[in-house]
Amino acid sequence: MPTIDFAITGLLEKSSLPAFYKSILMKVLPSMSQIQKEDLFVTLTKESDRRKEIEERGEEICRYYDMVATRLEKDPDELFDSMNYSEKKEKGKETKAVSKGKLSSIKGKLDLETLKKQVGGK
């Protein structure tokens, strides 16, 4: 069996395609052109990668909420205190960023004024 056929067969087995499509594709695989095979291979690889990504993200989400549940069961006050702290910290960062933005805008305006004066003076 050519390597690409072998790879497609493996990907088809794990694919979320309806079984009917899988069976038809398996049946017509030997008579497909090389371009069609490559096309199918790319499609199935893309699906496999995206499914893997979804699974990893799902695991990450479960881990996070699992941690939340454990802390809720153990000491909810500690959890909410730490969350309040993080929220404040985030808010502080935002305020700081806004202030920085304002400062640079004022600075820019001052620079412009100075430049205008310099140009006017000349």
Partner 1 sequence: MSFETPEQLGTGSADSSLLSGSLIPKWLHEKFTGVWGRLTRAFDKFKNQKDAGILKRVGAFISGLFEDYKDLTQESIKTREETTKKADEIVAQCASPEDVKKVMETQVFGARELTPEEKDASDTLLGVASETWLSSPDRIAVATVGDSLVSDKPCVDPKDLTLDQKLATMKFSIGYVKALQKHCKDKGISAEVLAKKLEKLEGLNRFKSKIQAAMSVSMASAVSSVFDDPLKIAKLSRLSSQLPIDKLQKGTLDKSDIAPLLPHTSSNSELMKTAARVVNGAAKGEKVPTIDMARLILGIHERDFENLIQMVS
Pair of tokens at residue 23: 């069976």
In this complex, which beta carbon is closest to partner 1, that of residue 51 or of residue 107?
51
**Rounded alpha-carbon distances, angstroms, from residue 113 to 40, 82, 100, 102, 109:** 63, 46, 20, 16, 6
Q: Would you count residue 74 as binding partner 1 (CB under 8 A)?
A: no
Q: Nearest distance from residue 100's CB to partner 1, in Å?
A: 31
Q: Would you count residue 108 as binding partner 1 (CB under 8 A)?
A: no
- 21-44 residues labelled b (16+ CB within 10 A) or e (exposed): eeeebeeebeebeeeebeebeeeb
Binding-site size, partner 1 (CB under 8 A): 39
In this complex, which beta carbon is closest to partner 1, that of residue 18 or of residue 121?
18
Single out the residue of 93, 5, 98 nearest to residue 44, CA to CA. 5
The footprint of partner 1 (CB under 8 A) covers: 15-21, 23-25, 27-28, 31-32, 36, 39-40, 43-44, 46-47, 50-51, 54-55, 57-59, 61-62, 65-66, 68-69, 72-73, 76, 80, 83
